[in-house]
Structure 1
Amino acid sequence: MSDLRPIRRALFSVSDKTGLVEFARFLAERDVEILSTGGTCKALRDAGLTVVEVADYTGFPEMLDGRVKTLHPKVHGGLLGIRGNAEHEAAMAEHGINPIDLLVVNLYPFEATVAKGADYDTTIENIDIGGPAMIRAASKNHDSVAVVVDVEDYQRVMEEMTAHAGATTLGLRKHLAATAYARTGAYDAAISQWFARELGDTFPRRVVVAGQLKQSLRYGENPHQQAAFYVTGDQRPGIATARQLQGKELSYNNLNDTDAAFELAAEFEAPTVAIIKHANPCGVASGPDIVSAYKAALACDPVSAFGGIIAINRKLDGATAEEICKLFTEVVIAPEADEAAVAAFASKKNLRLLVTGGMPDPTSAGMTLRAVSGGYLFQNKDNGRVSLDELKVVTKRAPTEQEVKDLLFAFRVCKHVKSNAIIYVKDGCTVGIGAGQMSRVDSSRIAAWKSQEAATAAGQAQPPGTIGSVVASDAFFPFADGLLAAAAAGATAIIQPGGSMRDAEVIAAADEKGLAMVFTGMRHFRH
C-alpha cells in the first residue's frame, strides 16, 4: 500500500500570517478545500480566496471570547479519524465529519507576550488551547494527516505536493509530526516556567528545557562530537541575539568562549575589553576609551591572547579595530560597530564580527544548567556583587582608595575565572591571572609567572606588573601560603571571601607583610 496521502481538505488557524496567503493559494489552485478560523479566515478572504469558516462548518459559532471555536467533534473527528478503518469511516459519515488532510496552525504568541512584559490577565489570554489540541490530534494521526506548525515548512509541503500530484509522503508527515510535538512541548514549557516565576517557585517539581535550533555546527568541542546551537527565546543580549557581520561560521568552542567574554565585559560600566581563551580571561581592562582598554587588556598576556575572543562593552570603533587587526583573533563581539570598524576588519575575512544590539544586565536573575549522568544541575546565575560598604577590613592596614577600586575590579573579574582563581590587578587592568588549578597557591604562582613572562615579551626592563598590584581570590585562602606567594610577587592588598578555619593565621601573615586585606563574605567558585 502506498504511503502517499492526497490533500483534499486543509484547516488553517494561524497567528503568524507570514507566507499564509501564498501557501493557501497554492492549495486552492490544486482544488484543496480550505477551512479557517476568524482572523485567518478574514485574511484569506481579503486575498480573494474561497474559504469555509470553521463556525459554518461545525454549526457552532465562536464563543466565550474566542476560547471555544475548534474544540468540536467535526474538527477533531476529521483530524483523528483513521482512513481505511471501516468503523471510523462509518461514524464520520453518520455525523457529517469530513476528513481533514492538512492542519496548519501556529499558536497564540505566548512567549512574545511574556517578553513584552504583559500583565497577568493578558498573558493568560494568550495561552492557546484549541491550537495545541488540534496539533496533537493531527500529529497522532500522521499516517494520514500532515501538520504544519512552522512557516518554514510551507515550502517542504508544496514541494512534496508538486512532486507527488498533490500528496505527501509518510516520511514527511513523520517529520512534521515530530516538529509539531516539539512545538507544543516547548509551548507548555514556556507556560510552566512563567507560572513558576509568577509563583516564586524557583525549583518546581518538574522542569522542562526547550530550545529552537539556531545553527547546526560542524562539530562540538572535538571533531568526533556532533553539536548544534539552540536558543530559548530569551531576549538577553548576547550570542543568541547577535548578528554576524563577517567571518567564518562560528564553532561550538567559539560560541562558548564568546559567551564567556561578553558576560565578563558586561560586568563593568567604564569602557572595558575582555580577552578570552578557552573560556578563561587572559586579559581584562577598563580605560578612558575602548582602544586604551584593549591595549591594556592585551598587555596582560599577549601570548595567550593569540587566537582568542575579544569582547567590548561599547560600540566598536575604527581605531580599536585597527589595533585588533594586528593580532590573530577568532571572534570580536560588541553591542555595535561603526563603519570604520567594519571597514578595518574587511581584510580579515575569517575573523567573526558579532554585534548584539545591547549589553546584558549582569545583575539580572537567571538560571544555569549543566548535564550530569541521568539528569541536570540547575542553579541561580552568579549575579552576586560586592559593594564598597560591604567590604570588611581585617588587617591593621586599610587599603588605599586606589587599592579599593582595583580590589573591586579584581573581584568582578574573579567571578568569570575558573576556580581556583587568583587575579592580580593594577590601575583597572589585570596584570596576572591564575586559573583552574587544583591548588590555590599554584594559581597565585602561575599568575605571577605569567605577569613576568608578559613583561619579558614586551621587552620591558622594569619588574612585572604584579609589583604594586592587588589580588583577588575567588574563595578563602585555606592556608597562608597562597597569600605569601602573592606578597612575594609584589601585591600590596588582598580581597577574598574569608571564612576559613585558618583566617586568623592568614590575617596575621598579611599583617606581617604589611598587606591590606578585605573580606567580602561572598564566594565566586566557577567550575
Structure 2
Amino acid sequence: MTADIRPVTRALLSVSDKTGLVPFATALVAHGVELVSTGGTAKAIADAGLPVKDVSELTGFPEMMDGRVKTLHPKVHGGILAIRADAGHQASLAEHAISPIDLVVVNLYPFEATVARKADFEETIENIDIGGPSMIRGAAKNHNDVAVVVEASDYEAVLKEIAEHGGTTLPLRRKLAQKAYARTAAYDAAISNWFARELKEEAPAFRAFGGKLIEALRYGENPHQSAAFYASDEIRPGVATARQVQGKQLSYNNINDTDAAFEAVAEFHPARTAAVVIVKHANPCGVAEGASLEEAYAKALACDPVSAFGGIIAVNQTLDAASARAMVEIFTEVIVAPDATDEAIAVVAAKKNLRLLLTGGLPDPRAPGLTVKTVAGGLLVQGRDNASADDLDLKVVTKRAPTDRELTDLRFAFRVAKHVKSNTIIYAKDLATVGIGAGQMSRVDSARIAARKAMDAAEALGLKEPLTKGSVVASDAFFPFADGLLAAVEAGATAVIQPGGSMRDNEVIAAADAAGLAMVFTGVRHFRH
C-alpha cells in the first residue's frame, strides 16, 4: 500500500437522501468495513440485513432533543479529526477509547426542498442540519486521513478505489473535500438568504451565493474563457430547470440568450394571448402577440428577419406543430417553451442540431428575486426588476390622450422595453414590435436605429411605407431632451410611453403637443445594463 492510501475500516453514514444507500453499504461490508449510522439511515441499513452500529452505541449517549443532538460528541469528532501520524492524537484516541472513522458519508437535511415547498418558519428551522455540516467539515479538514462523501454520485468512485487499492487515495480525498466544503457553503448560503428574505433584510452584512453544477461548458462568451453552468436554490422555471429534448449541448451564449428570451416571453400571460420573443445577443429582435403562436411568430419575425437568423425563440404556450414548422424554416439555435406536442417535437427533430427546451411552466415576472453582477473586488446585488406593465398607473401628460388601440400598444411596447438593453427605444404596432433600438449611448441614436431597422424590415416585406408609420414608441427611461421624441415623430409614431422625471419634461411635453402626439408617463424606469 502506497503512502497516500488510507484503508477504510470504519465508516459513518448519516444520509437524508437514501438513494443508493443499501447497495453502497452492502459493498462496504463486503470489503470488511464496520458501519456506524444514525436514525433512519441505521434502520434502512439494518432492514437490508446488514450489520450496523447505532451512533448512540459509539457515544454512550442516546439521541436527544428530537434528534437535534446525536453526533455532536468527542467520540464522533475525535474519530474523524485525529491525525493518524500524530502520536499525541493517537494517544488521545487510546486514552478515551475513541475508534478512528475513515469514511464519513453525509448528505444534509433537505433545507432547500423544505423552502421550495413553502413550509412554515418553524418547520424550515427544523430542517437546518447542524451535526451533518460539522461532520462534513471535520472530515474535509482531515482529508489527509479521512474521505468524505456528500453525494451518492461519488459512491462508485470510493468503492472503486477500495477495491483497487485497499483504501482511498489522496487525490480522491482532496477532490471529495473540495466538494464537501462547496456543499456546506451552498447550504449555508441557502439558509442565510432565506433568513434575509424572512426578515426583509435587503442588505445583510454578509451575502453568500451557492450553486450546484449543471454542466461544464466548452467555453464562455469567447473560446479563450472557461465556463460552467450552475443551478441556484431559486425555484423558477427556466433554462436551468428545463428538459433538453434534443440538439447539441448548450453554449454559454445559448444559455444567456435563452434566459433573456424566456424571461421576456413570460411577461405575456398564456391565458390571455399567444406570444413569441426572438432574441439575438441577449436583446429581443422581434416580439409579438397573436391569436396563435404561429401568427405571433410571423409578426415577431417580420420586425427583423435578418437578426432572427441564428437566434433564440421563446414561446409562452405549448408549442404546436404548425408553429414549429414555421420556426424551423430558418436557422435557429434554440426553441424554448413551457411544453410541446408530440407532433411539434417530431417536427423539430428533423433539425438534429436545433435545441428544444421544455421548462414545464413560465417564470412569474412579478416574483421577487435577486440579480448578481461581479465587479472588481465585489458583487453588485439588486432586486429583480419585477414591475409589470399591467400594474402601472399611466398618467396622460399631453393635450391628446391615447386612443384605446394606442394605449394597448403602449403597454405592449413598455413591456418589451423592460427586456432590451439600455438605452432602449421600441416602436410597436398592432401588438408587435416594428423597430427596436438597443444599447446605444444616446437615446436619440436608439430612436434613429430602431427607425432605420423598421425601414429595412419594410423593404424586406415589399412595403412602400416604413413599419413605424402609425406606431407607438416606448422609452425605457425619460427623454432628457426633445430630440429623441422628435426622431420618433419623424419615424411616424403617434403616441409615446416613457417614465418621465426629466428636468426638461415640460419641453418634451410641449414638443409632443406641437406634433399632435399622445404621451403617458409611467413613473417606472426599466434600465437594463
Q: Shorter-chain-normalised TM-score: which range?
A: over 0.9
Question: What is the CA-CA distance between 1:499 and the residue it aligns to?
Answer: 1.1
In 2: Cα distance, 1:458 partner to 1:182 partner? 54
Q: Tell me the equivalent position of 2:80.
A: 79
Question: What is the CA-CA distance between 1:388 and the residue it aligns to?
Answer: 7.2
Q: Tell me the equivalent position of 2:12.
A: 11
In 2: Cα distance, 1:115 partner to 1:450 partner? 44
Q: Tell me the equivalent position of 1:267.
A: 267
1:469 partner amino acid: S
What SS class does the counterpart of residue 167 from structure 1 fall into?
coil
Kept in 1, the 8 Å contact 2:239–2:258? The answer is yes
Aligned to 1:342, which of 327, 341, 345? 345
1:329 partner amino acid: T
Question: What is the CA-CA distance between 1:233 and the residue it aligns to?
Answer: 2.6
> Aligned ranges for residues 34-53 of structure 1 at < 5 Å?
34-53=35-54
Question: What is the CA-CA distance between 1:85 and the residue it aligns to?
Answer: 1.6
> Aligned ranges for residues 91-170 of structure 1 at < 5 Å?
91-164=92-165, 166-170=166-170
1:470 partner amino acid: V
- Is 2:178 the partner of 1:178? yes
In 2: Cα distance, 1:416 partner to 1:158 partner? 50
In 1: Cα distance, 2:199 partner to 2:437 partner? 42
In 1: Cα distance, 2:385 partner to 2:198 partner? 21
Q: Tell me the equivalent position of 1:525.
A: 527
- Is 2:489 the partner of 1:495? no
Q: Tell me the equivalent position of 1:383.
A: 386
Kept in 1, the 8 Å contact 2:423–2:527? The answer is yes
Q: Tell me the equivalent position of 1:244.
A: 244
Q: Tell me the equivalent position of 2:479.
A: 477
In 2: Cα distance, 1:386 partner to 1:65 partner? 49
In 2: Cα distance, 1:92 partner to 1:239 partner? 51
Q: Tell me the equivalent position of 1:297.
A: 300
Question: What is the CA-CA distance between 1:140 and the residue it aligns to?
Answer: 1.1
TM-score, normalisation: structure 1? 0.98
In 2: Cα distance, 1:8 partner to 1:326 partner? 63
What percentage of aligned pairs have identical amino acids?
67
> Aligned ranges for residues 410-489 of structure 1 at < 5 Å?
410-460=413-463, 462-489=464-491
Number of positions where the alignment pairs a residue of Structure 1 with one of Structure 2: 525
Aligned to 1:312, which of 310, 315, 325? 315
What SS class does the counterpart of residue 257 from structure 1 fall into?
helix
What SS class does the counterpart of residue 147 from structure 1 fall into?
strand
Q: Tell me the equivalent position of 1:192.
A: 192
1:188 partner amino acid: D
What SS class does the counterpart of residue 21 from structure 1 fall into?
helix
In 2: Cα distance, 1:388 partner to 1:24 partner? 56
In 2: Cα distance, 1:478 partner to 1:191 partner? 44
Question: What is the CA-CA distance between 1:389 and the residue it aligns to?
Answer: 6.7
Question: What is the CA-CA distance between 1:158 and the residue it aligns to?
Answer: 1.0
In 2: Cα distance, 1:122 partner to 1:136 partner? 25
Q: Tell me the equivalent position of 1:505.
A: 507
Superposed structure 1 runs of 4+ greater than 6 Å apart: none
In 1: Cα distance, 2:399 partner to 2:140 partner? 72
In 2: Cα distance, 1:498 partner to 1:389 partner? 13
In 2: Cα distance, 1:215 partner to 1:506 partner? 50
In 2: Cα distance, 1:500 partner to 1:119 partner? 45
Q: Deviations over 1:334-385 (max 9, x none)?
A: 0001111111011101100000000000000011010000001011111112
The gaps in structure 2 that reach 5 residues or longer are: none
Kept in 1, the 8 Å contact 2:392–2:522? The answer is no
In 2: Cα distance, 1:385 partner to 1:119 partner? 28
1:507 to 1:370, Cα distance in 2 relative to 1, 3 A: same
1:301 partner amino acid: D
In 1: Cα distance, 2:137 partner to 2:19 partner? 22
In 2: Cα distance, 1:38 partner to 1:447 partner? 65
Deviates more, 1:111-120 or 1:384-393: 384-393
1:20 partner amino acid: L
- Is 2:285 the partner of 1:282? yes
Q: Deviations over 1:125-183 (max 9, x none)?
A: 1111111111111111111100001111111111111221x211111111111111111
In 2: Cα distance, 1:156 partner to 1:352 partner? 32
In 1: Cα distance, 2:233 partner to 2:215 partner? 14
